[in-house]
Amino acid sequence: MAKEREISDLSPWEDAQKMIAKAGREGVNLVWDRLKDQTPHCTFCEQGLTCSKCVMGPCRINPKGPKKMLGVCGADADLTVARNFGRFVAAGAAAHSDHGRDLLETLAAIGEGKTTDYGIRDEAKLERICKELGIDVEGLSVQERAKALANLFFEDYGCRSHNVAFSSRAPQKRKDLWERFGCTPRGIDRDCVEMLHRTHMGVDCDPVSICLHAGRVALGDGWGGSMIATEVSDIIFGTPKPVKSTVNLGVLREDQVNILVHGHSPIVSEMILAATREPAILAKAKEAGATGINIAGLCCTGNELLMRQGVPMAGNHLMTELAIVTGAVEMVIVDYQCIMPSLVNVAGCYHTKFVSTSDKAKFPGGIHMEFNYNNAREKAREAVLMAIEAYSLRDPDKVEIPSKPMSITSGFSNEAILGALGGTPEPLIQALQAGKVRGVVGIVGCNNPKLKHDHVHVNLAQELIKRDILVLATGCATVAMGKAGLLEPEASSRAGAGLAEICQALGIPPVLHVGSCVDNSRILHICAVLANYAGLDISDLPVAASAPEWYSEKAAAIGLYAVASGIYTHLGLPPHILGSSMITTLALKGLDDVFGACFAVEPGPLQAAELIDERIKAKRVALGWPA
């Protein structure tokens, strides 16, 4: 049995600690309880040395000892690890890119006049993206432009294109490098399917070849599916601008109907928010005894509403169960990704309704209400009315809202960042050259119960800003930064002198919230903008990425597309590749010779900051800038 961990070892936050204790008193099983039950983990699985891809197995590969064990087919450790990792990345790329497809289908429905529930909020961005990608918009209506852009992006999902459309944003040196190593992303679905084919028994038996194709798959996510999701979301729902909001479980309201939106797609959450603002529905809430309806976000769909609408964030991945444990949540309504199946069981311990909305993400024991672009407004009203009914079932004796919310500033899209710089990247280039901003690091992604909740996120960010390194945050890292007070302009007092000067001059925090997980594509794009402006490749820039507490297949795809784009990337935990010294060496060193970037693995935030800082120093010295 695993050693018992103290609550203070699980999370540093007051709201989390109080709810973990409450769950214990009320007999609610949490993610940390289940982790304990699963520990110790299978060593073969942890190292990527198991294979169940055919029924000659399953096989366990032992690369050590007097008799090295091969799979029944003859696969050794290197091939087995590469196959497993390739499929892991393909699943992550497919998830983000399928999110993009849902948004693209909504854009197409707008363009074809098939929906009145959705429309175009940022017509200027629609026109700008059309022109960027070579669509002649002269004489076309907004609807016709939407249709034309949707048709172009649908080609990126197919099999016959030579490259995804947004790869045109990458510096020419980067595109030439991808071409040289056979990594140019050709089609999102095509490259994911090809990975499944390559890793079938008896197809690609070269571990390096499989890993290079994994890079191609990941690039199709970063410069394809995720970038499409980001840009189309902006077009449909509005491009984010700086906005004030709040974060932590204190955003829940004891006197209101609390609805939590969870998942990743703004298609559902935006419509739920719209329904809660309808006078007739608000009147129903007041009839039920509530003073109003309170929407709060969890994980990335929360980030989407936060960026565009200023909707408060209740929590990130490891807070999702704890939000329900407050006893104050009437409904959790979800779309897909990062939604623990356990939430249905936790909701069942309270009066909380758990509602799923996607035909690809159903949860036994929950309520399923399928949303699409024809019925979304109607279904949103139905769901909100159900939440109002649940309010009357709330048990006041079980309600505990554990803390006061923290203030945050969000909404830093690339347009907002460049707008603050006068519409050009020149001031940021000058600040980098002068060393006032020594580098830029994206801290992104998940929580993992193996690591103390949010600890690496926060301490890594604090250490980097002390060193005059600007931090961009996405996904679950957002909540961590917000709870630590790093998403407010006043946090510039915690930064180094150079970064503090820049932040104070612009009135911005030293950690900028740039969006949800798919919005890591904003970081790719801004890196490309800087590199193109300065006549450099992305790998020349003093930039890095970090996924300090990652857990998911999507995070593996994100990390690999960052590396394949030329961005040094830190991981707080290793992927399941340690069973192959070849693949491990390739990840930690060899990819530098291919992409000009590689991975680093370090769970300690201060040690990770040192690794990133050394890399940034090396890039600055190579450019002739002061270290």
Question: What pLDDT does 64 receive?
Answer: 82
Nearest to 473, CA basis, from 417, 416, 512: 512
Per-residue pLDDT band for 389 (boundaries 50, 70, 90) equals very high
Give the CA distances from residue 172 to residues 160, 177, 179, 622, in Å, rounded to whole numbers and listed in that order: 22, 9, 10, 20
At residue 67, the pLDDT reads 73
Contact status, residue 371 vs residue 358, Cβ threshold 8 Å: yes
Closest CA to 576 of 95, 1, 42: 42
Stretch 342-370: mean pLDDT: 98
Give the side-chain half-sphere CA count within 13 A for 76. 12
SS (H, E, C) 128-162: HHHHHCCCCCCCCCHHHHHHHHHHHHHHHCCCCCC
192 has binding-site annotation: no
Task: Tell me the HSE value of 369 on the side-chain side, using a 13 A CA sphere.
Answer: 22
Q: How many CB atoms lie within 10 A of CB 445?
A: 32
Averaged pLDDT for residues 49-72: 90
Per-residue confidence at 376, pLDDT binned at 50, 70, 90?
very high
Q: What pLDDT is stored for residue 1 in this prediction?
A: 46
Q: 534-573 pLDDT, tens per residue?
A: 999 999 999 999 999 999 999 999 999 999 999 999 999 9
Whether 264 has a binding-site annotation, put simply, is yes
The answer to the question of whether 54 is labelled as a binding residue is yes
Structure tokens at 570: 């830190």
Give pLDDT tens digits for 18-36: 999 999 999 999 999 999 9
Distance between CA 69 and CA 77 in Å, rounded?
A: 9
Short-list 86, 59, 83, CA closest to 70: 59
In this model, does residue 2 exceed pLDDT 60?
no
Give the model confidence (pLDDT) of 116-141 as tens digits: 999 999 999 999 999 999 999 999 99
Residue reference for tokens 């050394």: 614
Neighbours of 382 (CB within 10 A): 13
351 has binding-site annotation: no
Q: How far apart are CA 87 and CA 557, in angstroms?
A: 10
Given pLDDT bands bounded at 50, 70 and 90, which one contains residue 574? Answer: very high
- Residues 297-333 pLDDT 10s: 999 999 999 999 999 999 999 999 999 999 999 999 9
CB 248 within 8 A of CB 483: yes
User: Which one-letter amino acid corresponds to residue 302?
Assistant: G
Contact between 315 and 298 (Cβ < 8 Å): yes
Sign of CA dihedral 305, 306, 310, 311: positive
Residue 166 clears pLDDT 70, i.e. is over it: yes
* CATH 3.40.50.2300, applies to 243-398: no
- What's the pLDDT tens digit per position in 175-226? 999 999 999 999 999 999 999 999 999 999 999 999 999 999 999 999 999 9
256 in Cβ contact with 284 (< 8 Å):
no
- Span 453-497, pLDDT tens digits: 999 999 999 999 999 999 999 999 999 999 999 999 999 999 999
Q: What is the mean pLDDT of residues 255-259?
A: 98
- According to the annotation, is 598 in a ligand binding site? no
- Per-residue pLDDT band for 618 (boundaries 50, 70, 90) equals very high
Proportion of the chain above pLDDT 70, given as a percent: 99
CA distance 474 to 400: 29
Q: Among residues 376, 361, 83, which one has the least CA distance to residue 209?
A: 83
CA distance 298 to 280: 26
Q: Is 503 annotated as a binding residue?
A: no
Cα–Cα distance for residue pair 575/554, rounded to 1 Å: 12
Same fold, 243-398 and 409-622: yes
Beta strands in 52-174 (DSSP E): 59-60
Residue 461: the pLDDT is 98
Phi and psi torsions of 515, nearest 5°: 140, -160
Instruction: State residue 303's pLDDT score.
Output: 98
CATH 1.10.260.40 assigned to domain 77-237? The reply is no
Contact 71, 80 (CB under 8 A): yes
Cα(78)–Cα(333) distance, rounded to whole angstroms?
Answer: 42
Tokens 């600690």 belong to residue: 17
Contact 500, 458 (CB under 8 A): no
Share of the chain above pLDDT 90, in %: 97
CATH 3.40.50.2030 describes domain 409-622 = yes
Tell whether 300 is in a known binding site: yes
Backbone angles phi, psi at 384, to 5 degrees: -65, -40
Pairing of strands 50-51, 59-60: antiparallel
Do the Cβ atoms of 456 and 448 come closer than 8 Å?
no
Mean pLDDT over the full length of the chain: 97
Residue 42 marked as a ligand binder = yes
CA neighbours within 13 Å on the CB side: how many for 262?
Answer: 31
Taking the CA atoms of 550, 551, 556 and 558 in sequence, report the sign of the dihedral they define: negative
**pLDDT band for position 5 (50/70/90)?**
confident
Q: What is the DSSP letter of 29?
A: -
Domain ranges of the chain: 77-237, 243-398, 409-622
Using the predicted structure, report yes or no on whether residue 398 has a pLDDT greater than 90: yes
Three-state secondary structure along 525-538? HHHHHHHHHHCCCH
517 is in an annotated binding site: yes
Average pLDDT of span 420-424: 93
